Each structure stands twice: as structure tokens, then as C-alpha cells.
A and B are shown apart, each in its own frame.
Chain A
Amino acid sequence: MARLTQENVERAREIISRYPASRSALLPLLYLAQEQDGWIDDSAMEHIGDLLDLTPAQVLGTCSFYTMFKRQPVGRHLVSVCTNIACLLNGGYELLEHAEARLGVVVDETTPDGEFTLEEVECLADCDRAPCLQVNYRFFGNVTHDDFDRLVDDLRAGRLAETVPAHGVLNREQPPPVSVRRADAPHGAGD
């Protein structure tokens, strides 16, 4: 199910053709798979391995190194609460505990309705607005507990759909520029 779709295989081949060594296309293809399903499951990794002539173990090694590649299903909104030093001092842990209570899940869990996945992250580089969090990698700074409750309500009601697209469609909203010259290359040239 979670192998790449035919359309995405075409895209994958095009991506592969941009690199002199096909293995270099591993990260873009993992993004592609995550974009397709919101997360990367084992069969997607196997499929990518096939496309790049890598073993699934090699794909897994790379995929699991990066925390932004999800190997478990993720809800529509990925809430990442920072608990690194600046946020910690400004109540990051309290915010995280509040989020757990408000959403009714613990860290790394998804709400039963599939709306929210909560995660604890390291510094998001938004320290001047600590405590901060991200929803689908969009920043929200100086988040009070009330702010958080409002944010959850707004997200659930779809009032922020404009600024916070659903998880997994990040790239689809802004497709990578396709080089005109390379687009003519036969599919799988770098395979």
C-alpha cells in the first residue's frame, strides 16, 4: 500500500536523474514517500531501496537517523514542543505537560481521531519567543497555556488551514523546482 504510487515513481526517477550517484537521491525520495503517506513505512523503504539499488537496511539506516522522517503514522497536525534550554527556563516542560493533558496523549502518541501527534523536540531556534512550538513545522512563539488551547481549537476547526497545511503535504504545497533541461532526460537515467 505504502509503496510509491506510479506517479511518484515517475517523480522519483526524475529526482534520481539529477544526481551523478543515484544514492544521493535517498533523502529526496524519503521526503517523497513521507509526503505521499505522511510517514514512511517498511514497504516504502523497500521500494526506495529497489529504485536506488540499495538494501532496505541501508535505507532504514538513513531514514532512522533523521528525526523528521516519521516511521509511525502521524496525525494531521504534528505538534512539536521545544524543551531545550531557553524554552525549559520559560516553561517548556509545563507547556508540554499541559499539551499532554489537553490532547489526552503522551509524547509520541497520536490522538484517537488522528488530528494531533505530540512530540518533544530540541531547540527550534526560536528562543527569543520561548516557550515555542511548531505545528507542522510552522512556528508559534510565546505560547501560554491559553494560547495552546486556542491553537488546538483553531486547528481542529480548520481556521488555520491557510497558514498550517496538513502534515505530509509540505513539499506538495511547494514542489521543488524542476530543471527544464533535465526534465527531458529519459526516465531512470540515473537508476
Chain B
Amino acid sequence: MGYFEGFRVTFEQLFRPRVTIQYPEEKRPKALRFHGRHVLNKYEDGMEKCIGCELCAGVCPARCIHVRGLDNPPDAPVSPGERYGFVYEINYLRCIHCDLCVEACPTEAITESKLFEFSFSNRQDAIYTKDELLVADDGQPKHLPWEDWREGEDLHTSAWVRATAPNGDADYEGRVAWSAELGYGVRPPEAGQLGDDDAGAPIDDITVEQVAEGGHH
């Protein structure tokens, strides 16, 4: 009788739902906060958000980000203000996708997409330059030839948390709130991010428009 006991386990598994999928033809949906390849965002007017402040490089535990700032050319400014990111490089052989750079960024210039499937045949190619990281004119991350983008991976690439009110609105000082932004790539806030009213609200119930309202009143 003993061996029937062994088969019992096998038979039980036959009727359970299957968890293996046919990767790479078939893919599992990724978690909402999945950290993939970075993108450098632009404002709607085409200005780059990156101001070359190097806070991302400073906070990076893997020391994989290299940024150099430069004076904005007065006639053709690249970003608002005095300084822009002249060099921006991420070495993906080192990056651990911890997202600390995203948290440190004061302008939401750097955020992450959900793309993780990209490979290189030499070390040099593993260093993404600013040109490759920067979103295209339509605000979408560039789909580079060696990257395997799937639907939805380039959506909702903006940041998660804004802790304070950069616009000087005293009501928001020190309050963890969601500051929505105009343009492409906005993803909805999570429960509790809009303040007390929406505490516990399920994520999927909040639309982008609500976010925009909630953030700026």
C-alpha cells in the first residue's frame, strides 16, 4: 500500500491550478511596484525633468549611476532652471533596482518601467546612456532593439511617493501625499496616498483624473 501514498501526492497535484507558464511566449502580469529599467522623464513642453543634481547617484547603493551637470544654454535650455543633466548613465550590471534613485529625485525625472528583459553581449552595452534612458517625444520610454517590451510595461512609469509640497503649499507641508502630474505615464496612487478621505480605497478604483485632482485640489 505504501506506494499509493506516494501517488496520492501526484494525483492531488493533477487537479490543482497550474502555475507554470510558457515563458517567454507567455508572461505573468507584474506587480504594481515592480522595478524595471529606468526612464528619464520630460515635461509636456519637452523640457527634461533632470536637473543633474546627482542626488540619485549619491543615494545609489550600487554606485551604478553617473551624472554630470552643466549650465543650461540660455538660448535653448534643456531643463527648467540653471542646470541640466549633461551626462546620465546607469550601469545595469550593477543596478539592483532598489528604486532609491527614484525616491531621491527632487523632480521625478527618474522613474522605473517594468521592463527587466534586456541583455547585452558586452559590458559597455550594459551602460545605458542618457539618450537611451530619456523618453521619446511622445513621453513613452524608447523601445530599444535589444529590449523585449510587452504591453503595459511602459505604462505608469512615474514615481510613487511625494513626501512634501514642492510648490510651497503650506497645507501639504510634511504630509505624505500624491502629487499627480500632467502628461504621460501617470499611475494611480495607492490606498492612503490621497489623504484621509480615501483611506483604504482599493487601487484600481482610482482613476488618473482623480489623482490629478487629489494632488492639486
Answer whether A and B touch in the complex at a CB cut-off of 8 Å: no
Chain B residues within CB distance 8 Å of chain A: none
Binding site for B on A (CB under 8 A): none
